[in-house]
Amino acid sequence: MSQETPQRNLALDLVRVTEAAALASSRWLGKGDKEHGDFAAVEAMRLSFSAIDIKGTVVIGEGEKDEAPMLYNGEKLGTGNGPEVDVAVDPVEGTRLLAFGRPNAIAVVALAPRGTMYNPGPAFYMKKMTVPSEAKYQVDIKAPVAENLRRVAKALGKSVDDMVVFVLDKPRHAGLIREIREAGARIQLHTDGDVAGALMAITPGGEVDMMIGTGGTPEGILAAVAIRIMGGEMQCMLDPQSDAERESVQQAGYSLERVLTVDDLVKSDDVFFAATGISGGTFLKGVEFTGKGAVTHSMVMRGKTGTFRLIEAQHSFSKLMRISAIEYGTKNERA
């Protein structure tokens, strides 16, 4: 049996990026200003990426260049040395959660070999179904909701009544919510954060058994990296939410009937993923300020080895501020 020499785990570099974004944006927690909170995270991420030895290209970012001055689709990241990679970022997944001090805002980054991440084009929304590894190959996104719930419950050794389903609390999900309740399962309704929802569904020992519903296509691709590493399953179908989006998607040659799997969304096992809690929640604690610094909580994954880490980090602002251009502390802490 051939063996490889251990290679650098880029996920351990990525967690510094998500920690920086979480530390910078968490100063805006509950202040009602999602734009400044997001900008602080974007700026911190971009500066942190400049120290990583990759030839990175943003494929899932803040938008097109004319709309996003930093971390825009197509932007080059890293030192220019090292492997060529696709980069997917969400500096604050759940900007409204951050702005209003609600749970489960997170900073997220994923890497994959160049050209292996799905290009969503003009498709902004997709219908998703995410289940943990125990229920892999048991679901069919085109089947009735009740049937999928029965299949997942059986795979998990539960009754449908024991199941908890993550659903975004949106008007488009009124029928879905009714079907889940009629089947007998319980629901966690969340206003935002379907990357967090997917992570909750695949993390062992979590409170959520599966995630169902329509959310952002970029978020689906980010989540697919983690799902591939953890061995779970996600099935998706593009689901335009306006006539204009539908027309753009069909003109670009995308099928609305095709079921997309994790293998379609990221075509490699040589992937890396990191997420850091910002506002706290049921699966990742948020940034905790101590007066002299802060504590962050992150999950870090590497696809090639399947390694999953939970990292608690202690940050000293008096030392960080001597070497970092990122403004982590308050005015008093920076003085």
The β-bridge relationship of strands 164-168 and 186-190 is: parallel
Coil, strand or helix at 205:
coil
Please name every residue paired with 127 in a beta bridge, in sequence order, or none if there are none. 214, 237
Query: Which amino acids are annotated as binding site for substrate, given as ranges?
Result: 93-95, 125, 170-172, 192-194, 216
Q: Which residues contact 246 (CB under 8 A, 6 or more apart)?
A: 240, 256
Query: Which amino acids are annotated as binding site for Mn(2+), given as ranges?
Result: 38, 62, 90, 93, 219
Helices then strands (H, E): number in the chain?
11, 13
Torsion of CA 230, 232, 237, 242, to 10 degrees: -60
Please name every residue paired with 312 in a beta bridge, in sequence order, or none if there are none. 297
Nearest-angstrom CA–CA distance, 325 and 321? 7
Q: What are the DSSP E strand ranges found in 94-173?
A: 106-113, 125-131, 164-168
Query: Which amino acids are annotated as binding site, given as ranges?
Result: 38, 62, 90, 93-95, 125, 170-172, 192-194, 216, 219
User: Long-range contacts made by residues 144-152, C-beta under 8 angstroms, separation at least 24?
Assistant: 144/179, 145/176, 145/179, 145/180, 145/183, 145/212, 146/179, 146/182, 146/183, 148/210, 148/212, 149/180, 149/183, 149/184, 149/185, 149/210, 150/183, 152/209, 152/210
Coil, strand or helix at 328:
coil
Please name every residue paired with 77 in a beta bridge, in sequence order, or none if there are none. 56
- Lookup: tokens for 315: 């940050």
The values of phi and psi at residue 72, to 5°, are -85, 160
